[in-house]
Amino acid sequence: MNTHDTNPWHPVARAADLRPGANIVAGFAQGQELALWRAADGSAQAWENRCPHRSVRFTLGQVIENRLACAYHGWEYEAGSGQCTRIPAHPVMQAPRNVCAKTFPTVEAAGMLWVALSPDTAAPPVLADAVPAGWHFCRTLTVRAPAAAVRDALLQRGFASNADSGGWRGRLDGVDTVALVLDAQPALTFVHLWSDAPNGSAAMATLHTAARTLRGDIEVLG
């Protein structure tokens, strides 16, 4: 079985972690560094984590209503288009039309924010099937190994993959689990774990422990 993911949509963060008009979350997908945020109107954004003015990371900046402001000179960029709309040092000057942040397509489904690195990627509706309805988020596991090694380990533990959504479903130490594998960097993988076990339950605690064991086993082999 091929354990390399061909799904162009990457589960970069839990949707609930992005608060409207508030925080900026750092993310990665296949080596691409991302700034993840939610505009005041509720729309989720995934941008290259680099201001086009002086290349400062957007994650150092702040969300202002439906705009993202760079921490260096305060240039502001509009949600959706990434177009620069305001330069605080020159408030009466119209922002240059050719200055835009690089944006990526996003989809919210199954409790996650999914990002495609190609602007022409179609949004498959099956992403909603990646995690069963009513399941609970356990944790995001950071594994210092390639994503292929993580998928191999899940396969060896009896997990089955959903080729359309990229989700893996199986059992860790007897607990029903879905693992969403994110190829973050060449030797760094994030695994978002979901379960039907209620938060605070003994089964959820068991899953936390099993996840740490899984990570240790993968990193030793990797």
Q: Which residue has the tokens 């086993």?
A: 217
Percent of the chain with pLDDT over 90: 78
Element (H, E) at 141: strand 136-143
- CA distances to 23, 131, 146, 159, 207 from 189, in Å: 23, 19, 6, 17, 18
How do residues 129-173 score in pLDDT, each as one tens digit? 899 999 999 999 999 999 999 999 999 999 999 877 889 999 999
According to the model, what pLDDT value does residue 5 have? 66
The model carries a pTM of 0.92
What domains can you pick out in the chain, each with its CATH number? 9-125 (2.102.10.10), 130-221 (3.30.530.20)
- Coil, strand or helix: which one is 196? coil
List phi, psi (to 5°) of 115: -130, 140
Long-range contacts of 81-86 (CB under 8 A, 24+ apart): 82/47, 84/52, 84/53
